[in-house]
Amino acid sequence: MHPILFPPTLDNIRKITASLVAAAKASGHRRALVLSGDREWCLQAAQVSLASTSLEPVLWIAAQAPENAWRMEAAKAHRSLGQEVDAIVFDAYSGFDLDAFGIITGAIRGGGLLLLLTPPLAAWPSFNDPEHARIVTAPYEVTEVTGRFLKRLVRILREAEGVIIIEQGKILPSVPFAAPARAETGGNPPSPGDSACRTEDQGRAVEAIVKVVTGQRRRPVVLTSDRGRGKSAALGIAAARLLQRGLKHIIVTGPRLDAVEPVFRHAQRLLPQATVSRAALHLPEAGMEFAPPDDLIRTSRPADLLLVDEAATIPTPLLERLLQGYSRIAFATTIHGYEGTGRGFALRFHRVLDEKTRGWKGLRLETPIRWRSGDPLEHFVFRALLLDATAAPDSAVASARPETVAVERLDRDALVRDEATLSELFGLLVLAHYQTRPYDLRHLLDGPNLSVYVMRYRGHVVATALLAAEGGFVEETARGIWEGRTRPHGHLLPESLAAHLGLAQAPRLHCARIMRIAVHPAVQGQGLGTHLVDTIIRETGGEGLDYLGSSFGATVELLRFWERLDFLPVRLSVKRGATSGAHSAIVLHPLSSSGQALVKRARERFLVHLPHQLADPLRELEPQLAAWLLRRGDPAGPLPLDSQDWSDVLAFAFGRRVYEVCIGPIWKLTWGALAAPESATLLGEVERNALIVKVLQKRSWQEAAAALELSGRAQVIEVLRRTLRPLVLHFGNEAVRREAERLAGG
Annotated binding-site members: 202, 228-237, 370, 517-519, 524-530, 557, 564
Mind spelling out the 3-state secondary structure of 107-147?
Answer: HEEEEEEEEEEECCCCCHHHCCCCCHHHHCCCCCCHHHCCC
| Cβ–Cβ < 8 Å for 333, 224 | yes
Q: Rounded to the nearest 10 degrees, how much is the dihedral formed by the CA atoms of 728, 733, 734, 738?
A: -30
Q: Is the peptide bond before 368 cis (omega within 30 degrees of 0)?
A: no
Instruction: Determine the angle formed by the axes of helices 10-27 and 39-51, rounding to 10 degrees.
Output: 50
DSSP 305-362: EEEESSGGGS-HHHHHHHHHH-SSEEEEEESSSTT--HHHHHHHHHHHHHHH-SS-EE
**Pairing, β 249-253 against β 221-225:** unpaired
Q: Which residues sit opposite 451 in a β-bridge? A: 467
Q: What angle do CA 344, 345, 348 make, to 5 degrees?
A: 85
Q: CA 204 to CA 223: how far, in whole Å?
A: 10
Q: CA 338 to CA 286: how far, in whole Å?
A: 33
Instruction: Determine the angle formed by the axes of helices 231-244 and 200-214, rounding to 10 degrees.
Output: 50
> Which residue type occupies 337?
G
Per DSSP (E only), the strands in 522-679 are 547-553, 568-576, 583-590
| Cβ–Cβ < 8 Å for 284, 308 | no
Per DSSP (E only), the strands in 343-459 are 361-365, 406-409, 450-457
> Which residue type occupies 477?
T
Q: Phi and psi for 155 in degrees, rounded to 5?
A: -60, -45
Q: Which helix (H) or strand (E) holds 471?
A: strand 460-471
Q: Which residues of 213-239 are buried (b: 16+ CB within 10 A; e: fewer)?
A: beeeebbbbbbbbbbbbbbbbbbbbbb
Binding residues for ATP: 202, 228-237, 370
Q: Rounded to the nearest 10 degrees, how much is the dihedral formed by the CA atoms of 679, 681, 686, 688?
A: 0
Q: CA 248 to CA 395: how far, in whole Å?
A: 49
Half-sphere exposure of 14 (CA within 13 A, CB side): 10
Sign of torsion over alpha carbons 333, 299, 496, 130: positive
Q: CA 328 to CA 133: how far, in whole Å?
A: 45
Binding residues for acetyl-CoA: 517-519, 524-530, 557, 564
Question: Is the backbone of residue 463 left (phi > 0), alpha (psi -120 to 50) or beta?
Answer: beta
Q: Phi and psi for 14 in degrees, rounded to 5?
A: -60, -45
DSSP 511-536: EEEEEEEEE-GGGTTSSHHHHHHHHH
| Cβ–Cβ < 8 Å for 9, 48 | no
Contacts for 292 with CB less than 8 Å, ≥ 6 apart: 253, 578, 579
Contacts 24+ apart (CB under 8 A), 627-630: 627/674, 627/688, 627/689, 627/692, 628/556, 628/559, 628/560, 629/559, 629/569, 629/572, 630/671, 630/674, 630/675
Q: Which helix (H) or strand (E) holds 639?
A: none
Q: CA 233 to CA 369: how far, in whole Å?
A: 10
Q: CA 743 to CA 739: how far, in whole Å?
A: 6
Q: Is 722 exposed, middle or buried (0-12, 13-18, 19+ CB in 10 A)?
A: middle
Contacts for 685 with CB less than 8 Å, ≥ 6 apart: 624
